[in-house]
Structure 1
Amino acid sequence: MDAAPPAELIVVERDPTGVAVITINRPSSLNSLTRPMMVLLADAIRRLDADPAVGALVITGRGRAFCSGVDLTAAEEVFKGDVKDVDANPVAQMERCRKPIIGAVNGFAVTAGFEIALACDILVAGKDAKFIDTHTRFGIFPSWGLSQKLPRIIGISRAREVSLSGMAITAEMAEKWGLVNHVVDNGEVLKKAKEVALAILRNNRDMVLMYKSVINDGFKLDLGHALALEKERAHSYYNGMTKEQFAAMQKFILSRSSKSSKL
């Protein structure tokens, strides 16, 4: 176990631009998670979501791994706890987070680390990144969503092979299969993730939150119900706007249009 206090194993840095970076900081153990680290990570995500100065989150790991999963020396402490305890579950807090989360995956994202990556809205991976599901290898039952999310992203046949055999998904495969958005040189992962976050923050922040919500909520539904959900929220949004808000929106659109025409 690390001598460092748990608080130093989850590092949060807030940038004046509105981007907050959460770093899993246990490189000597490939950023494997103990229960106190999970609680701190979940709490950091919850606090940043509530912070009005923060518009987007980046999650990364220090060293050769993004996160190598649960520290198996602390497995009993983790798995005999309540797996439904959302306050101590970083993935549950990521799923509740209203703000965009970009994963900067350097090196290994294994099992619980893979599940944290899957809970990100956008993924940037280094060329040497590898995504591995070891649940079947170690006899661990998934509880952070890997068994359900991965088939929906890469297809059920590929997901079966990945999870039942424990094969590694390379960065190249991950990009081809639609698991990651960008593959960059290993030293550029965090930089690229911040660039994506800043591109998001240049837009209307309220709409970013609402748009993320309708995409993620609609993805859980069949297409017919998802389209109805979009219509319902659009109706509520426009009917709730005052004349002044419409005028402000039109003024904003015109200002953006004039800037675009000069590019």
Structure 2
Amino acid sequence: MEQSSPENLIQVEREPSGIAFVTINRPKSLNSLTKSMITDLARAFKSLDGEDSVRVIVISGSGKAFCSGVDLTAAEDVFKGDVKDMEIDTVYQMERCRKPIIGAIGGFAVTAGFEIALTCDILIAAKGAKFMDTHARFGIFPSWGLSQKLSRIIGPNRAREVSLTAMPVTAEMAERWGLVNYVVEGNELLKKAREVAEAIIRNNQDMVLRYKAVINDGLKLDLGHALALEKERAHNFYNGMTKEQFEKMQKFIAVSSSSPVQQS
């Protein structure tokens, strides 16, 4: 099932398998974001989060870029006023989305595009892809998390260099630094994203949602409090299980243990 924004700039395709593909579709402008596109992206993620049939979301860009950032010809319209409205804030809606989000990064992911990429749970980049933070170059204050998230992923020294110099980070550098999970040929990008999505779908979907939540929520805490959070949620989970559910789990584990483990 396909769904598009009125101008066809944000496309959403839902597959029976449980994968939803979100495509930023403004290739002639390197997928730069207008205010209406930001709103449509936010609404798309909010909608997909509430759909039981959707298990994994893949976001990508059409053409030669993933997303080149905010369309600066409409900067004031984007950065003032409605920027505080979380209902139409793309990154906020992605952060609260319970479903795993895979970013398929082809070409440039610049500034706001970089921030959208950082909000994904898993990143796959095409060879030739580049990540750039141009906030300092253009005098734009970050508001979608780049100043805080990047340092937590690649370390503060590297993050300071990336952001203060506006240096490009190649796909290969990003993989070495732990920013992206895989680097593939451009024509293999969506295929790899689908492969990872299908591996997620093969697992217990209730636990996939719980596991993503405890990882992401724990990252906001120091290690001691994060471990306590895991323990608390584990106790609540097991205390809520019936004897029949435990028996079903034990049977499933026994059957699975007797078969070779599938590798994605």
Q: TM-score over 0.5 for the alignment? A: yes
- The aligned amino acid for 2:43 is D
> Deviation of residue 60 (structure 1)?
0.2
- Assess if the C-alpha contact under 8 Å between 1:10 and 1:37 holds in 2: yes
Residue identity (%): 70
* CA–CA separation in structure 2 for the residues paired with 1:141 and 1:225: 31
Contact 2:5 2:40 in 1 (8 A): no
Aligned equivalent of 1:57: 57
Give me the whole-angstrom Cα distance separating, in 2, the residues matched to 1:15 and 1:22.
11
Structure 2: segments with no counterpart, 5+ residues: none
CA distance in 1, matches of 2:149, 2:129: 19
Distance 2:43 2:259 in 1: 40
Any conservation in 1 of the 2:5–2:11 contact (CA below 8 Å)?
no
Q: Which residue of 2 aligns with 1:98?
A: 98
SS at match of 2:81: coil
What secondary structure sits across from 2:8 in the alignment?
helix
Kindly indicate whether the alpha-carbon contact (under 8 Å) linking 2:104 and 2:124 is maintained by their aligned counterparts in 1. yes
- Name the residue aligned to 1:15: 15
Deviation of 1:248 (Å) = 1.5
Match of 2:74 in 1: 74
Report the number of matched residues: 260
Alpha-carbon distance between aligned partners in 2 of 1:213 and 1:245, rounded to the nearest angstrom:
22
- Which aligned runs of 4 or more in structure 1 are off by greater than 6 angstroms? none
Map 1:110-121 to 2 at 5 A: 110-121=110-121
Question: With structure 2 as the length reference, what TM-score do the two structures score?
Answer: 0.96
Q: Report the equivalent of 1:137.
A: 137
* Structure 1 residues 47 and 163: alpha-carbon distance in aligned structure 2, compared to 1, 3 A threshold: same
Shift of 1:76: 1.1
Give deviations 1:89-148, integer Å, cap 9, x for gaps. Answer: 111011001010000000000000000000000000001000000001111100000000
Aligned-residue RMSD, C-alpha: 1.5
- Structure 2 SS opposite 1:8: coil
Given that 1:30 and 1:68 are in contact with CA atoms closer than 8 Å, whether structure 2 keeps it comes out as yes
What is residue 27 of structure 2 aligned with on the other side? 27
Structure 2 residue aligned with 1:48:
48
Shift of 1:85: 1.5
**Retained in 2: the 8 A contact 1:133–1:166?**
yes
Give me the TM-score of the superposition, normalised by structure 1. Answer: 0.96
Equivalent residue number for residue 157 of structure 1: 157
Q: CA deviation at 1:16?
A: 1.0
CA distance in 2, matches of 1:44, 1:261: 35
Q: Deviations over 1:220-263 (max 9, x none)?
A: 11111111111000000000101111111112212222232799
Shift of 1:5: 6.7
The structure-2 alpha-carbon separation of the partners of 1:261 and 1:19, relative to structure 1 and needing over 3 Å to count, comes to closer
Give the deviation of 1:168 after TM superposition: 0.3
Aligned to 1:58, what secondary structure does the other structure show? Answer: strand
Q: Shift of the alpha carbon at 1:82?
A: 3.3
Partner of 2:194: 194
User: Contact (CA 8 Å) 2:27, 2:65: kept in 1 or not?
Assistant: yes
Q: For 1:235, give the aligned amino acid.
A: H
Inter-partner Cα distance in structure 2 for 1:91 and 1:37:
13
Unaligned runs of 5+ in 1: none
